[in-house]
């Protein structure tokens, strides 16, 4: 029976893993409920994405005609009791909170196959990460208003005895009416829980926005509380204002050092640009203090401070960041630079100056006119000239007119090249062929982005979706591992997902893992992996070196992601 792609609405074979027209991945869940609504009442409209635990779909209530969001536990972890417990806990915690700045849970239920789903309000808008990617940094007034709303939502969450633990730009939705909605209580916990680590010892949340106590930097007997969310919201606010987080790192260990160091000389407090009002710098310094006792005591207090600073801004301060650029990026060459009105005159003048300097240098370096010099241009054009005597009946000017058409490059390059002609002419040192310069070779493409374990959620999701499109329909793979143990593990897991392992397959999984036992239950793991298709790399994976006590070994950690790539 044909199946309609939820994105482009083309009719395709329902056994396809991705639409051949638009590349949209087709999940087993979509195929199962293509002809009948979920639980008899929710019709799938489109797939919105994949969260930490579940697949997320936009649906329509067939009886009420309203739009909702259905979140279904991911099939790769459906057999995990801990995953089910977390999924159910998210739903139960969400029912405690009713606030305009927190997404509303409408329903929770099970399905005949044993999986569970929850139904959330549909929010028409974008999250803050998407807004920053599309429009750059926020003006201070707008950033403060959005942060204040988020703080009010946190106040309601904390009053319900819940700590969100995953406040980040991705989890702050902004509606068309500029109203903030906090989403995703998937890693939230009640206040009696004292850390952010699961039973398996794996950190949950986003390291870039984690507070020191979120990372376990607590004295004996202390527990994480709502001030951890205040710190995370402070990090988000800083990023909204400057285009970059206050602390940046390339590994989980570096993030731990950034967020947990209490020594200012080791990791100084981030400072806003001078164009920002001083009151905003003071507010952020308090929200981002590594000592939680010096932060705002409650999210409500933080919200009031944000609102007070916003009211105190004058017009010039309110728009200060409009003239700032987002996180620095390499400036492209001439076409983009010339498009900037303010810099175009500078670039033009600089180019004219360079051209004039080249002409002047050529004139100054040109030797006094003597008969042998007439042949200098000829040595520029030909491959190798042994200083021939000039023809007596052809003047120098005539020689230049004859040779000039052979030079394809623009005149300035001809002049510059001529200055490098061998002098004196008697020196028999061969020069490189000064033929017209060929176009600059296209630089080799940089390596594709890697899925980084514990890294940025949006970036990792983009890597997964790209790999899913490239590997759509894959049923046979080859496995190349640096250890027979890893190879055996990966083969077993792939077979469980109905993937045939064969040495002659076009798709090859390369895995290099390391596991070191440090004693007293401590271990260190790391891994790199890639997937090639017909010799071209289509997916890369990194598990940076880290210590742990209980949890997945390198192959198991990679296999969890591999299940999503080859789904």
Query: How far is 179 from 146, CA to CA, in rounded Å?
Result: 7
Q: What is the mean pLDDT of residues 176-183?
A: 91
With a cut of 50, say whether residue 264 has pLDDT above it.
Answer: no
User: What share of the chain has pLDDT > 90, as a percent?
Assistant: 27
What is the structure's pLDDT at 214? 81
Q: Which of 401 and 528 is assigned the larger pLDDT?
A: 528
Q: In this predicted structure, what is the pLDDT of residue 421? A: 46
Average pLDDT in the 385-402 region? 43
Helices (H), 243-381: 252-260, 278-287, 299-312, 315-318, 334-339, 344-365, 376-381
Average pLDDT, the chain: 74
Quick one: fold of 451-565?
Double Stranded RNA Binding Domain (3.30.160)
Higher-confidence residue of 9 and 282: namely: 282
Q: What is the pLDDT of residue 306?
A: 96
Most confident of 176-180, 235-239, 369-373, 436-440: 235-239
pLDDT band at 419 (very low <50, low <70, confident <90, very high): very low
Specify which of 80-89, 146-155, 458-467, 479-488 reaches the highest per-range mean pLDDT: 146-155
Q: Kindly tell me if the per-residue pLDDT of 420 is higher than 70.
A: no
Indicate the range of 139-148, 305-314, 368-377 predicted with least confidence: 368-377
> Who has greater pLDDT, 248 or 20?
20
Output the pLDDT for position 155: 96
User: What tokens does 287 get?
Assistant: 């929200």
Q: Is the confidence at residue 21, as pLDDT, over 70?
A: yes
The closest alpha carbon to 147, from 308, 281, 306, 311, belongs to 306
The better pLDDT of the pair 439, 262 is held by 262
- DSSP letter (8 states) at residue 367: P
Residues 91-119 pLDDT 10s: 888 888 899 999 999 998 888 877 788 89
Beta-bridged to residue 59, according to DSSP, are: 44, 68
* Calpha distance 454→465 (Å, rounded): 17
Residue 469: the pLDDT is: 86
Q: Give the Å distances, CA to CA, from 430 to 384, 422, 433.
A: 6, 8, 9
Identify whether 79 is a catalytic site residue.
no
Assess whether pLDDT exceeds 80 at residue 67: yes
- Of the options 3.40.50.150, 3.30.565.10, 3.30.200.20, 3.90.1150.10, the CATH number for the domain spanning 36-121: 3.30.200.20
Strands 105-110 and 67-73: unpaired
Which pLDDT band holds residue 361 (cuts at 50, 70, 90)?
A: low
Per-residue pLDDT, averaged over 370-383, amounts to: 43
Mean pLDDT of 471-497: 86
* pLDDT at residue number 345: 41
361-378 mean pLDDT = 48
Candidates 79, 166, 225, 503; catalytic one: 166
141-165 as b/e: b if 16+ CB within 10 A: bbbbbbbbbbbbbbbbbbebebbbb
For domain 125-323, the question of CATH label 1.10.510.10 is answered with: yes
Rounded to an integer, the average pLDDT of 363-373 is 49
Residue intervals in the chain for CATH 3.30.160: 451-565
In the chain, the percentage of residues whose pLDDT exceeds 70 is 66
How far out from the chain centre does Cα 35 lie? 36
pLDDT at 292: 92
Judge contact between 448 and 540, C-beta under 8 A: yes
For 196, phi then psi, to 5°, come to -120, 30
Cα torsion angle, 501, 504, 510, 514, sign: positive
Cα within 13 Å of Cα(382), Cβ side: 12
Is 427's pLDDT higher than 50? no
Residues of the chain with CATH 3.30.200.20: 36-121
- Strand blocks (E) in 377-469: 451-452
Region 362-382: what's the mean pLDDT?
A: 46
Q: State the angle between helix axes of 140-159 and 227-242 in degrees (0 to 180), rounded to the nearest 10.
A: 160
The number of helices, as runs of H, and strands, as runs of E, in the chain is 17, 18
184: left (phi > 0), else alpha (psi -120 to 50), else beta? Answer: left
Intervals of CATH 1.10.510.10 along the chain: 125-323
Kindly tell me if the per-residue pLDDT of 369 is higher than 60.
no
- What's the maximum distance between 2 C-alpha atoms anywhere in the chain? 102
* The pTM of the whole model exceeds 0.85: no
Q: Give pLDDT, residue 177.
A: 82
| pLDDT confidence of residue 360 | 54
- pLDDT computed for residue 218 by the predictor: 77
Q: pLDDT tens digit string along 541-559?
A: 999 888 766 667 888 888 8
For 281-290, 356-365, 461-470, which range has the lowest pLDDT when averaged over its residues?
A: 356-365
pLDDT at 198 over 50: no
What are the tens digits of pLDDT across the range 303-350?
A: 999 999 999 988 766 666 544 333 333 333 333 333 333 443 434 344
Which of 69-73, 365-369, 380-384 is least confident?
A: 380-384
């Amino acid at each position: 029976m044909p199946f309609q792609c939820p994105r482009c609405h083309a009719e395709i074979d329902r056994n396809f893993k991705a639409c051949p027209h638009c590349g949209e991945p087709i999940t087993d869940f979509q195929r199962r409920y293509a002809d009948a609504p979920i639980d008899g009442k929710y019709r799938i409209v489109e797939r919105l994405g994949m969260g930490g635990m579940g697949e997320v779909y936009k649906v329509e209530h067939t009886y009420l005609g309203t739009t909702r969001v259905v979140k279904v536990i991911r099939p790769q972890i459906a057999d995990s009791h801990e995953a089910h417990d977390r999924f159910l806990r998210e739903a139960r915690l969400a029912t405690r909170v009713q606030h305009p700045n927190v997404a509303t849970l409408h329903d929770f239920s099970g399905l005949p196959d044993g999986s569970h789903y929850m139904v959330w309000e549909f929010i028409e808008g974008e999250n803050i990460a998407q807004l920053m990617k599309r429009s750059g940094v926020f003006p201070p007034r707008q950033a403060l208003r959005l942060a204040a709303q988020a703080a009010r939502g946190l106040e309601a969450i904390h009053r319900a005895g819940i700590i969100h633990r995953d406040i980040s730009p991705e989890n702050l939705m902004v509606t068309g009416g500029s109203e903030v909605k906090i989403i995703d209580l998937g890693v939230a916990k009640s206040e009696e829980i004292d850390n952010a680590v699961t039973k398996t010892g794996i950190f949950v949340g986003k390291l870039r926005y984690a507070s020191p106590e979120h990372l376990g930097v607590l004295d004996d007997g202390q527990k994480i509380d709502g001030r951890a969310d205040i710190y995370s919201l402070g990090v988000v606010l800083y990023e909204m204002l400057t285009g970059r987080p206050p602390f940046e790192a390339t590994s989980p260990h570096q993030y731990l050092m950034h967020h947990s160091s209490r020594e200012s000389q080791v990791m100084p407090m981030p400072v806003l640009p001078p164009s920002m009002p001083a009151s905003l710098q003071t507010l952020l310094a308090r929200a981002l203090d590594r000592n939680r006792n010096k932060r705002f005591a409650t999210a409500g207090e933080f919200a009031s401070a944000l609102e007070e600073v916003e009211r105190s801004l004058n017009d010039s301060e309110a728009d200060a960041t409009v003239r700032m650029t987002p996180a620095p990026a390499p400036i492209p060459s001439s076409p983009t630079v010339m498009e900037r009105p303010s810099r175009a005159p500078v670039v033009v003048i600089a180019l004219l100056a360079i051209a004039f300097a080249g002409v002047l240098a050529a004139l100054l370096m040109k030797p006094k006119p003597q008969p042998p010099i007439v042949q200098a241009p000829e040595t520029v054009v030909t491959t190798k000239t042994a200083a021939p005597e000039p023809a007596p009946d052809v003047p120098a000017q005539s020689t230049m007119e004859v040779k000039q058409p052979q030079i394809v490059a623009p005149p300035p390059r001809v002049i510059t090249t001529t200055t490098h002609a061998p002098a004196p002419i008697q020196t028999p040192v061969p020069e490189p062929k000064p033929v017209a310069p060929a176009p600059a070779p296209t630089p080799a493409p940089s390596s594709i982005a890697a899925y980084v374990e514990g890294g940025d959620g949006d970036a990792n999701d983009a890597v997964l979706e790209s790999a899913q499109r490239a590997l759509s329909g894959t049923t046979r793979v080859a496995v190349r591992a640096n250890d027979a143990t890893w190879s055996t593990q990966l083969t077993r897991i792939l077979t469980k997902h109905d993937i045939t392992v064969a040495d002659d397959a076009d798709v090859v999984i390369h895995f290099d893992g390391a596991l070191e036992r440090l004693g007293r239950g401590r271990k260190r793991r790391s891994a790199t992996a890639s997937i090639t298709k017909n010799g071209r790399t289509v997916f890369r994976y990194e598990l940076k070196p880290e210590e742990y006590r209980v949890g997945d070994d390198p192959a198991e950690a990679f296999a969890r992601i591999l299940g999503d790539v080859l789904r």
